[in-house]
Structure 1
């Protein structure tokens, strides 16, 4: 009986899901996703281009920002194609290997983004608490080593997930509740005991997202303590203003991430709400991060306007 209820592993596929009950308007729903995809690719590419071509921006803050932009690009490229496939072509099937690859990149890049936000919090702490030693503490070789270590941490801890999932056989009703593959969703479809997968998934989430968010919170506690010692309210506000962009990025990333993780493991939330929250988690940061940083970071905004102005004069746009 078990053999009848199990699919053959090599030929099995998962079925991705769009917004339930909205099949008649899938084409219209695809329009904002197309815009999100285009804006995220262009926005993060512009950030990378400006930072790379302008030597004055080769500073720790902007190098960390370029790391964030690369990660956001990776998340968009990994996630949105399957979403557009559903809404544009009603293409719901995804093979197990493709699904495992997608969830690996989604989770590893999300963990890396969490690590980069922690590094950016550390950057702000050093800049505010030790401005005279800022350049000597955050040297380019040290930044490269930190980026490599935190990047490898995300990939290494996520690496076992596809292999843990490959051990299972999956039931025939392989319908996922999202438009892309997530570890929490896939393992629930296994016809086996998923205790090890659940424990390991919770462990790496707490180790990465939980620890990073705690350290970011502590960094801002230290930043506030340092800033409150500044005698001038003007200097205090100026110092805090340098953190606004980073705080927006932190809120955009962690709020839906934590909410989605709690719903997957403990909640009974309605599928449409979970799907919308998952879209917010993976799609909003790549779109809004370059916009927020371009608006709130004076030097970056100036370079972008100069580049656009020069191109306009030369007739390149």
Structure 2
């Protein structure tokens, strides 16, 4: 229950605080944020173009990787420019409608990325258990259906967020103690009973990222059972290597969420600025690291990257 003595009716403009408590260091924070943004753009555009241009890469694993690159580009484009505006130009004002738009699209791309990681886990499951039927099971029509399901689920789960936020009539303050318009950050400064909003926020996490993580764990448990039944150590290593890149990406994507949830369950209260920095890592580190991981660990990607670099040198 949130109450207000001097409430503010639904404001036309909110103020994004950036990283509260560390305002004097905003200039320093802008440097890694900008570098992450540039590396993410270059890496994901490169991966997407390689997959599109090289016909030998038009197989399920790489097509899903191209989808992941597109979503990563959308995710950083929806978050980093606004943050840099705050850090560089003190552009903290955001209209109410723009705030609603941001609180829809940022988690939308995040939930879509989680869905793609689940699809990639299913891809590895099929590749290990049904290698001879791999391309038959994961044909182009199946991939289109999977992509459609990922999009529809994300839209369905997150459409209520701006609608519910729009119905909030009064607020304690116009200042959102965040670097972007997060749904719960807006809800926490609202007046009145916000319990239904908190329940909805938890349901979004459980119905998207939570379910995806559980299914990924189940998928890889089954995969590992199959791999360790292979008598040849060389064959085992080859099978596991096909999953290595994906496991690294999964670890980077879900570890901040798991850390945040566990810290709250164990009663550990982080400083607000530290919580915001960790939340920003949700949206910044995986999109930057994903193309780097696949470029380093995937032979076909290595060859193309080396070819591109040699062309530039010549």
Using the TM superposition, give the Cα deviation of residue 63 of structure 1 relative to its aligned residue in structure 2, in angstroms: 0.6
The answer for the alignment partner of 2:255 in structure 1 is 255
Task: State the superposition RMSD in angstroms.
Answer: 1.9
- Write the distance in 2 (CA, Å) between the matches of 1:102 and 1:267: 29
Deviations 1:194-230 (A, max 9, x none): 1222112211210111111000000000001000110
Q: Deviations over 1:106-164 (max 9, x none)?
A: 11111111110000000011111111110111001111111111111111210111001
SS in 2 for 1:94: strand
Could you say which structure has the greater relative contact order, defined with CA pairs below 8 angstroms and 6 or more residues apart?
2
Q: CA deviation at 1:262?
A: 6.0
Q: How many angstroms apart in 2 are the aligned matches of 1:5 and 1:264?
A: 30
> CA shift at 1:89, angstroms?
0.8
Other structure's SS at 1:243 match: helix
Aligned residue runs from structure 1 range 61-210, under 5 A: 61-210=61-210
Deviations 1:22-66 (A, max 9, x none): 333322321111111111111111111111111111100001101
1:311 Cα deviation (Å)? 4.2
TM-score normalised according to structure 1 size: 0.92
Does the 8 A contact of 1:263 with 1:274 survive in 2? Answer: no
CA distance in 1, matches of 2:253, 2:187: 24
Greater alpha carbon shift after TM alignment, 253-262 vs 63-72: 253-262
Between Structure 1 and Structure 2, how many residues are aligned?
A: 311
Residue 268 of structure 1 corresponds to which residue in structure 2?
Answer: 269
Alpha-carbon offset, residue 251 of structure 1: 1.0
* Distance across 2 between alignment mates of 1:39 and 1:140: 30
CA contact (8 A) 2:172 2:190 kept: no
Residue 240 of structure 1: aligned partner: 240
In the alignment, the residues of structure 1 paired with residue 6 and residue 83 of structure 2 have an alpha-carbon distance, to the nearest angstrom, of: 29
Q: Report SS of the residue matched to 2:176.
A: coil
In structure 1, runs of 5+ residues without a counterpart are none
**After superposition, what is the alpha-carbon deviation per residue over 1:221-249, rounded to whole angstroms, capped at 9, x for unaligned?**
00010001100111111111111111111
Match of 2:228 in 1: 228
Deviations 1:245-297 (A, max 9, x none): 11111111111123345667976321121012112111000110110011001
* Contact 1:6/1:169 (8 A) holds in 2: no
CA distances 1:3-38 after superposition (whole Å, capped 9, x unpaired): 9823232x4322222334433332232111111111
8 Å CA contact 1:114–1:208 kept in 2: the answer is yes
Provide the rounded CA distance (Å) in 2 between the counterparts of 1:176 and 1:269: 18
- Quote the Cα distance in structure 2 between the aligned partners of 1:262 and 1:74: 28
TM-score of the superposed pair, with normalisation by structure 2:
0.93
Counterpart of 1:5?
Answer: 6
Aligned position for 2:31: 31
